[in-house]
Structure 1
């Protein structure tokens, strides 16, 4: 851990409001090195009577962010010159610009209230990617149809990052809520080429189009910090909120022949578009990056959350059997140890516990179960490999060849800590994997903050 020994040192603050935790990084603007970093778990989801709902308390998220900053050296925070916030691009919350009403819960990207029947009843987008449950526009359409009273009193809608930025900047900068093109693309019904919402389609269905924010390309300045915050001086630049995936790529600094693989709670395989691609599978998206560039993305709902669910299930089984139950960390360690001896297991695990956005009704399962491949080591190894195979089925070898990808850059806690997962990645993709520790989205957000100068 470093301290601010040089009074002339300048740093930037990168914040990532993720699906399960808040992470922050203080980065030296001169050498782009991480001076300090911190993270705080967000805890359990809010309970809801809505089937498939996935919601978080905004107050709880704000508290976690404050706790993150409490861990930093105050002397370093006084050296902050700009702030950038990123996070999960699809979620949605509502708030009042006059603070007359408490913000709604954050309805997360993992929300499943919009079933296939509801989604099929929405206007057909003109964009190549279909709307999915968990997307901001799908959530707002669902609320308008089923719970219109929940929209009353609110005049702002955005991602959790948009709200954090809005809360940080002063009143003079709050005239028009701005959302980045990165986050707008994650909401659906957004025309990336024309930088506009498909308001004509949405208005015909009664959608609350007045809640859609103005969209800007990034990097862009949202405003200035309204007052001193944990030692950060009021008046420092605050950027328009960004997507966590884009920031992860920015942190990794890939070459044109690299693809960035991130396996955290969920998983993504991303390459910067360098050649025209006309016929992409529905499992692959084109999303805005920085400076008018485009990313080619396979974004899976399945990642470390699959392993977490398996560990929770094991603990539940042991409890039901009345047997001693190890702590989660011990189970994780034993699974990895046992999996090492079963790298070539014939067992297959389909990890799509929540489906995928392009195949929302498909679910996971086991294949080729036999008497000699049902050990805990077989299951663990097949589970880890299944995460990788699922991504590979989304971003096929043909697409990677067209993108001229020759190696993978790996990031995310699941990849960094799991040797079995790394080996399966190289075997499944047939490409070398280079792990880049500490290059997560908070670092990318901090690098984006430097672009605000």
Structure 2
């Protein structure tokens, strides 16, 4: 009987699940749904998602996979959107019985599932409440990575200052994918890999420890910090059957979606990976003996993300990727609604791509940094070189797609790739796979061949991680 690794990716706008056959190392089944979880917050510049809706979508995705294969899952890997934070309550006691923290389990007939209980909204990586003035009041981290708005620790500092009563309701915090792992394993606390901890800020990747003393001195609620574990280890075992997945199935500690996407794409150290999903990243592997600088440089467009086994990736991580195209679609859709013309966003997106494919090039210039960048938060989007001949939807869409590539190559110039010995670019990510114009512009942006693989994404990547490391995984449960 075939055995499978279940890979789960909880993305910013969608959830994808895959089944990876252990013997052939191929994806036999996959399913994806949009979460539609964004909510309107009372706070200016807030970006929050409904945790209940996210988990509802996750359950729908898992339930769509063949139950006979789910019953033969031998391992679960989970990845998800980094930097964000969700809070939940610790284990409670009712009538002398312990209730699992953060969720309720229900269902029957091999279709048990969990739903959030006593949890907050997810405050995502896109949250903009921590402006430059607020960040300047925070203590300097003992880390090679700067702190930025949307980072978990920065968000907690914001709540400390402006809504301390909110934090008093919770005892546990983690990323949304850390939360899923905790619920699957029935953990009273949260374990977090260095990949996710580094994305929160105030984490030293050299020592694999939080900046406890710095945070304590600032009055930070350090009891909310998860226990740090190595990237690639197991967090525990499923506490009960889940949609057919047997109880006591090992579950990996949650990994960063970016690192998992790279893992699914980069097969050789002479390759760089261009990932464009909601945001965009360009990355290559640093030498195995590389050590990042001791002091962060908040003005640098290149960061060094922890990968596996003490290695690092050089990363240009842009806040502006597929979300720029989504904003263009939303803008046009809003205009059409004002004109009382109805068209779905998906249909409009497809029409824009067709129009742009009819325009080989355009001299219209679009700077797509509508969300700013972490190294330059005050940057704004711009449109220039406008004349009557380039105002078509095809020219606009082409210019937006090229602008996304121009921005990422300005953050990490292709010369850096050549000097690092990179010989080819691997393309991945939902926006890149969906958008033929983005792929064309990617191929024009680099003096290196750009290749696209099959099923290269975070859900596949996290499944491959826990497939490849089966014999060397360290257990912490």
TM-score, scaled relative to structure 1: 0.94
| Alpha-carbon contact 1:254-1:260 (below 8 Å) kept | no
The aligned counterpart of 1:296 is 314
Measure, in 1, the Cα distance between the counterparts of 2:185 and 2:75. 12
Structure 1 stretch 261-270 or stretch 66-75: which is displaced more? 261-270
Looking at structure 2, the residues matched to 198 and 259 of structure 1 have their Cα atoms a distance apart, in angstroms, of 32
Q: Which moved more, 1:36-45 or 1:396-405?
A: 396-405
Question: For the residues of structure 2 that align with 1:420 and 1:175, how far apart are their CA atoms?
Answer: 47
Tell me which residue corresponds to 1:103.
Answer: 119
* Residue 209 of structure 1, aligned match among 222, 225, 230: 222
Q: 1:371-403 deviations in whole A, cap 9, x for unaligned?
A: 222222111100010111111111112321232
The 5 Å alignment of 1:259-408 reads 259-274=272-287, 276=290, 282-322=300-340, 324-408=341-425
8 A Cα contact 1:343 1:420, kept in partner: no
| Aligned mates of 1:413, 1:159 — CA distance in 2 | 21
Residue of structure 1 equivalent to 2:96: none
| Cα offset, 1:11, TM superposition | 0.4
1:434 deviation in Å? Answer: 0.3
Cα distance in 1, alignment partners of residues 176 and 189 from structure 2: 17
Choose the corresponding residue for 1:59, options 48, 52, 67.
52
Q: Which residue does 1:234 correspond to in 2?
A: 247
Matched, 1:245 2:262: no
How far the C-alpha of 1:284 sits from its partner, in A, is 1.0
**Residue 248 of structure 1: how far off its partner (Å):** 0.7
RMSD over aligned Cα atoms? 1.7
Correspondence for 2:463 among 417, 436, 446? 446
Q: Check the 8 A contact 2:198/2:306 in 1, yes or no.
A: yes
1:83 touches 1:238 (CA, 8 Å); kept in 2?
yes
Query: 2: distance between equivalents of 1:248 and 1:447?
Result: 10
Distance of 1:220 and 1:239 partners within structure 2 = 6
Report if the CA contact (8 A) 1:96-1:102 is conserved. yes
CA distance in 2, matches of 1:232, 1:344: 50
TM-score, normalized by length of structure 2? 0.89
Partners of 1:452 and 1:240 lie apart in 2 by 13
| 1:433 equivalenced with 2:450 (yes/no) | yes
- The 1:277/1:370 distance shift into structure 2, 3 A limit, reads farther
Report the alpha carbon displacement of residue 92 of structure 1 after superposing the two structures with TM: 0.2
SS at 2:18's partner residue? strand
Corresponding position of 1:35: 28
1:259–1:272 CA contact under 8 A, matched in 2: yes
Aligned twin of 2:174? 158
| Structure 2 CA distance for aligned equivalents of residues 57 and 414 of structure 1 | 23
Distance in 2 (alpha carbons) for counterparts of 1:45 and 1:328: 16
Aligned residue in 2 for 1:148: 164
Cα contact 2:32–2:61 (8 A) shared by 1: yes
- The alpha-carbon deviation at position 232 of structure 1 amounts to 0.8
Contact kept, 8 Å, 2:182 with 2:188, in 1: the verdict is no
Q: Deviations over 1:288-324 (max 9, x none)?
A: 11222211111111111111111111111122233x3
CA 1:240 to 1:452, structure 2 compared with 1: closer, same or farther past 3 Å?
Answer: farther
Rounded Cα–Cα distance in structure 1 between residues aligned with 2:370 and 2:180: 31
> Is contact 1:254–1:409 with CA below 8 Å preserved after alignment?
no
Give secondary structure in 2 for the equivalent of 1:15.
strand
Aligned residue for 1:139, secondary structure, equals helix
1:220 touches 1:452 (CA, 8 Å); kept in 2? no
Q: How much has 1:277 moved relative to structure 2?
A: 8.2
Contact 1:13 1:449 in 2 (8 A): no
Distance 2:55 2:130 in 1: 27
* 1:8-87 paired onto structure 2 within 5 Å: 8-87=1-80
Aligned to 1:5: none
Alpha-carbon contact 1:411-1:437 (below 8 Å) kept: no
Q: CA deviation at 1:175?
A: 5.7
SS at match of 1:186: helix
TM-superposed CA distance for 1:438, in Å, is: 1.2
Match of 1:128 among 123, 135, 144: 144
Q: Given the alignment of the two structures, is residue 254 of structure 1 paired with residue 267 of structure 2, yes or no? A: yes
1:413 positional shift: 2.3
- Which residue in the other structure is 2:105 paired with? none
Do the aligned partners of 1:237 and 1:452 also contact (CA within 8 Å) in 2? no
